[in-house]
Each structure stands twice: as structure tokens, then as C-alpha cells.
Amino acid sequence: MNAVLDVQEFRVRYGHSEALHGVDLQVREGELAAVAGANGAGKSTLVGAVAGWSRGKVTVTGSVALDGVDVAGLAPHRRVAAGIVLVPEGKGVFENLTVEDNLRLVRAARDARGRRYSVEDVYAVFPQLKERATKKCSTLSGGERQMVAIGRALRAAPRLLILDEPSVGLAPRLVLEVLQHIRQLVDEGLTVLLVEQNVRATLEVADRIYLLEQGKVAAEGSAGEMRADDRIAEAYLGGLRT
């Protein structure tokens, strides 16, 4: 199967300190691939560098291809135009604007199939946002803000939607709700790369998982394979297989 995203030998250095040590990662058409791992493993560094968003004094080497086309040399806005849309950790919604204004800030683009995500389409995915359309984002729950951030990203017609820790700071009930919405988008045809610290929740929704440890891929496999791996059960699931 063709990879939508193909990352090879990816290294990221902050000054003299290397945070990613040659990572290979693929996201296939129509799948929910996830990068899981502990704080500081390099997850945000990885997806930030894929989107061209790296902060500070950064050196990135290796290749990044979207649908077989090298995008590593492109500026961030050109990667968005090519279809790589990242929702960063912390969501980045405008607190003083309403839900609807946040969604309308992005001019709707067309995806490869000529499809456009109207604001109504976003409401169809997240019905509770429609009920809160005229409310300022500052009055929303963390989960609802995350939905606004994802909805806004959908308006840009991503070929690959990258979500950096959408569950961070959410109550456990909301974590599953947000992740299930993401799963639904994938079931409808979207290709997603999800970053999650919560390995257990990731196993519930992802098709394939890369486990990142100290800047390296420590394990990679389907959710079923990862669940059956004793090292994963030991280190991330409290010794229990789910």
C-alpha cells in the first residue's frame, strides 16, 4: 500500500543536542497511525519537523515525502498547501472569538477529491459545536476547544491531518470522546497521524502505533501486535494486557 507520508532517517538537532536519532515512519492511506511515548521522547519534535514548524536553533536531516513528493525543503505554509496540516499541542484556538468565527478564519480549501469542508460539515462531525456556535471559545470545555481546533484544521482540507496530543489536559471521559471523533474521521476516509502520551487510549483507536523512546522508534506494529507485546504491557499498561 502506498504511503501518504514517508519519513526516512529523520534526525533533529537542537544546537548540539540530538533529539531524534534517525526515525523512519510511514502513514498509509486512510489509516490512523499514532506516535506514542513518554514526556520528552521526541514526539512533538518529530511532528513539528514534519510540518516544518521546528522552534529554536534546529537542524533537520532526512527525507519527508507526501504522496511520494519530497516536501522537506518547503516552508511550513507550502507544506499546508501540499496537505500537511498540524494541530499543535495546546490547540491554538482564539479564546475571544466565537466558535463560528474560529472556524471561518480559515478559507475552506478543496482536498484532492475536490471536497470542501464547510462550517456546516464541521458541525456535522461535531454537533455540540453547532449548539455553541455563538459562544466565545473561552467558555468552552477543553474537549470542545479541541474539536474547534480539529474542525478548523479540516477546513484546510488536509491530505494528512497531524494531531499533537489532542487529549492533553482533558478529563478521562473527554479523552475517549475526542479520540473516537478522530477515529470516525478516519473511518470516513481521512488519513491521520496522532501523537499521544496515553498508550492505553491510543491502543483503543489507532490502526498502527510507533513507540518512541528517547528519540528512537523502540517498537512499531498494529494495535493488536502492540497489545500482545510484553514489553509494552510491562512499561505502559501497568503489566496488564488490555
Ligand X SMILES: Nc1ncnc2c1ncn2[C@@H]1O[C@H](COP(=O)(O)OP(=O)(O)OP(=O)(O)O)[C@@H](O)[C@H]1O
Residues that bind ligand X (CB under 6 A): 14, 19, 37, 39-45, 55-56, 197
As measured in angstroms, the least distance from the Cβ of 115 to ligand X is 31
- Rg of the chain over Cα atoms, rounded to whole angstroms, equals 17
Nearer to ligand X, 98 or 197 (CB): 197
Nearer to ligand X, 168 or 237 (CB): 168
As measured in angstroms, the least distance from the Cβ of 169 to ligand X is 12
Query: How far apart, in whole angstroms, are the C-alpha atoms of residue 61 and residue 239?
Result: 37
Nearer to ligand X, 45 or 102 (CB): 45
Q: Look up residue 89 and give its three cell numbers.
A: 499541542
Give 220's strand partners: 210
Nearer to ligand X, 144 or 196 (CB): 196
As measured in angstroms, the least distance from the Cβ of 202 to ligand X is 13
Query: How far apart, in whole angstroms, are the C-alpha atoms of residue 125 and residue 182?
Result: 10
Hey, how many other C-beta atoms are within 10 angstroms of the C-beta on 110? Answer: 10
Q: Look up residue 102 and give its three cell numbers.
A: 474560529
CA atoms within 13 A on the CB side of 242: 16
Cβ–Cβ < 8 Å for 98, 137: yes
As measured in angstroms, the least distance from the Cβ of 11 to ligand X is 12
Phi and psi at residue 213, to the nearest 5°: -135, 125
As measured in angstroms, the least distance from the Cβ of 55 to ligand X is 4
Nearer to ligand X, 39 or 134 (CB): 39
Residue linked to cell 468552552: 140
